[in-house]
């Protein structure tokens, strides 16, 4: 099963914030776009959505930005993926319609596979996937250099 880019970028954004818990300044969309080479429009949509879901606290205005809306230990990966993915259905039997649909057993097998996939994600928090904080931070660019403001 493959996550959509939207979910992938949402998780990366949260990871980026989670590896910097001592940071006192707010994070900016331009910073995320620069670090991960993403579209500002795409990141804006993700940040807005994560804010509505409570994963981020967003502050509007000239001095605004965002930060984690709850501790990384309280952000469950399974719930996060369910919230960001439009559909977790691995196949769509209706486009084009499959003649096997009425008697198909593959749907049930795939539903079990998705449930197992989510069960594994349910066992982990955001904190669990950034526990190698020093290694992750070493892979990031030096953000003490002024960030190009795109927003």
What are the residue ranges spanned by the domains of the chain? Answer: 5-88+125-138
63 or 59: which leads in pLDDT: 59
Backbone angles phi, psi at 64, to 5 degrees: -80, 180
pTM (whole model) above 0.85: yes
> Is the pLDDT at 129 greater than 50, yes or no?
yes
Structure confidence at residue 144 (pLDDT): 53
The listed CATH number (3.40.50.720, 3.90.180.10, 1.10.10.10, 1.25.40.20) that belongs to domain 5-88+125-138: 1.10.10.10
Question: Could you give the CA distance from residue 142 to residue 44 in angstroms, rounded to a whole number?
Answer: 22
93-128: pLDDT as tens digits? 888 999 999 999 999 999 999 999 999 999 999 999
Structure confidence at residue 116 (pLDDT): 97
Q: Buried b / exposed e across 94-128, counting CB within 10 Å, b at 16+? A: eeeeeeeeeeeeeeeeeeeeeeeebeeeeeebbee
Sorting pLDDT into bands at 50, 70 and 90, what band is 76? very high
> Is the pLDDT at 149 greater than 70, yes or no?
no
Task: Report the Cα–Cα distance between both ends of the chain, in Å, rounded.
Answer: 34
Judged by DSSP in three states, 1 sits in coil
Rounded alpha-carbon distances, angstroms, from residue 69 to 16, 52, 73, 74, 85:
14, 10, 12, 10, 20
Share of the chain above pLDDT 90, in %: 83
144 or 120: which leads in pLDDT: 120
């Amino acid at each position: 099963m493959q996550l959509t880019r939207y979910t992938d970028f949402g998780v990366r954004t949260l990871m980026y914030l989670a590896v910097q818990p001592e940071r006192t300044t707010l994070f900016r969309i331009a910073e995320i776009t620069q670090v991960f080479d993403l579209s500002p429009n795409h990141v804006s949509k993700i940040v807005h959505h994560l804010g509505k879901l409570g994963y981020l606290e967003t502050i509007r205005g000239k001095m605004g930005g965002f930060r984690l809306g709850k501790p990384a230990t309280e952000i469950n990966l399974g719930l996060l993926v369910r919230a960001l993915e439009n559909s977790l259905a691995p196949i769509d039997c209706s486009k084009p319609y499959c003649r096997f649909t009425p008697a198909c057993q593959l749907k049930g097998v795939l539903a079990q596979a998705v449930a197992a996939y989510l069960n594994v994600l349910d066992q982990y928090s955001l904190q669990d996937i950034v526990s190698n904080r020093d290694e992750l931070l070493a892979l990031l660019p030096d953000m003490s250099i002024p960030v190009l403001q795109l927003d």
